[in-house]
Amino acid sequence: MTADLILTPNMDRPDDIYAGLLATHEGLTKDASDALNARLILILMNHIGQHDVLAQALQAAKSPEKG
């Protein structure tokens, strides 16, 4: 059975998590922010680990209006 990507609210402290994301980027140049985002994506992809879920996530990111 393949796992489904979670697209319903799943973060325990959404406002804090979002503020943390912005704070991490604060003061960085565009290049440094892009590099940070790339590292973050790779770290999260590894944490998720499952190819099926990640494939759904890539699709959802590319076409948010679908699904």
Residues that bind other proteins (CB under 8 A): 34-35, 38-39, 41-43, 46
- Give the nearer residue to other proteins in terms of CB position, either 39 or 51: 39
Outline where 1-67 has alpha helix (H).
14-25, 30-48, 51-62
* CB 36 within 8 Å of CB 25: yes
Least distance from C-beta 13 to other proteins, angstroms?
A: 25
Least distance from C-beta 46 to other proteins, angstroms?
A: 4
* CB 49 within 8 Å of CB 57: no
- Give the nearer residue to other proteins in terms of CB position, either 7 or 40: 40
